[in-house]
A = this chain, B = another copy of it.
């Protein structure tokens, strides 16, 4: 990742400044973009500035030391005035999202893209009250977005999707454009599919929570940081590649699919997960675990930068 030139988005309005908005803000600032922040919570400025400072220190490890200016604003209208891009991070509540996006659509400069970070909602529903919905997109990041590159884009037109993808790509992100909207987009659907079986293995008593987690991050999870599942099976098919894999090992995949569990998230299963996570945490606080995750992500991302074409 290297600092990029700004163009039409010299100033980004960040609407909603919790954990997610703060992480987005740090990313924009580190690339030299100004950030105009707004949140409904009184006194949001101080925790925002503290969180941004921590994330900027991490981004400096990538050489990202752009000197964007962070300003906080008393109204949405004030924050979006002069913005070249809007990133919205309001609570995951459909009525709230609809109202916030309609308000932003009425206030933001004409033609500026308004991107919702929503993880769970469909674009078609949250733009329902907007006068010019074609400029409203979903741009769903993976936490924490100043480190994890993925941004999932759902737009109303290919042209707007391409503009948004170019914006995020210049910020070192990996935009992925959905051809049609889908609940949970792509990555959270993949994660949920995997988690259902992880919960099933806890419910069936096959291994400890710590060992199930370790099996992922020392096995397929490790490989998936380097290469996606289709390409992985391409390499698993021998000289015949993915065609050979699907023709000869596809039937065993299908049998495996049929053997997967459909667990119930009962109180007993939840208790087993909570107890197992406690054992795995081994007394480490959430802050310590988060710092450890961020350290590992930074190290992995720094190691990955030389691999082209991901």
Q: Are B310 and A218 in contact (CB under 8 A)?
A: yes
Contacting residues of chain A (180-209) with chain B, CB-CB under 8 angstroms? 180, 182-198, 201-202, 204-209
A251 to B232: give the CA distance in the assembly, Å. Answer: 32
Interface size class of A (residues with CB under 8 A): 35 or more
A191 to B67: give the CA distance in the assembly, Å. Answer: 42
Q: Are A223 and B304 in contact (CB under 8 A)?
A: no
Contacts A192-B253, A286-B239; A220 near B179 (Cβ below 8 A)? no
A300 to B310: give the CA distance in the assembly, Å. Answer: 15
Q: Give A274-310 as 1s and 0s: 1 = Cβ < 8 Å from B's Cβ atoms.
A: 1011001110001001101101110111111011011
In the assembled complex, A219 has its CB within 8 A of some CB on chain B: yes
Which residues from B are CB-within-8-Å of A174?
A: 214, 218
Q: Are A190 and B220 in contact (CB under 8 A)?
A: yes
> Closest chain B residue to A211 by CB distance?
B176
A306 to B149: give the CA distance in the assembly, Å. Answer: 23
Contacting residues of chain A (242-258) with chain B, CB-CB under 8 angstroms? 242-243, 246-247, 250-254, 256-257
> Closest chain B residue to A213 by CB distance?
B228
In the assembled complex, A91 has its CB within 8 A of some CB on chain B: no
The smallest beta-carbon distance between A104 and chain B, in angstroms, is: 25
Which residues from B are CB-within-8-Å of A204?
A: 182
A191 to B191: give the CA distance in the assembly, Å. Answer: 10
Which residues from B are CB-within-8-Å of A81?
A: none
Contacts A186-B207, A286-B234; A224 near B224 (Cβ below 8 A)? yes
Q: Are B293 and A235 in contact (CB under 8 A)?
A: yes
Q: Which of A5-13, A44-52, A55-63, A259-267 contacts B (4 or more CB under 8 A)?
A: A259-267
> Closest chain B residue to A174 by CB distance?
B218
In the assembled complex, A148 has its CB within 8 A of some CB on chain B: yes
In the assembled complex, A143 has its CB within 8 A of some CB on chain B: yes
Interface residues of A (CB under 8 A from B): 120, 142-143, 148-150, 152, 174, 176-180, 182-198, 201-202, 204-209, 211-236, 239, 241-243, 246-247, 250-254, 256-257, 259-260, 262, 265, 270, 273-274, 276-277, 280-282, 286, 289-290, 292-293, 295-297, 299-304, 306-307, 309-310
With A187-B215, A221-B224, A251-B265 given, name 4 new contacts (CB 8 A). A179-B206, A191-B229, A217-B227, A226-B293
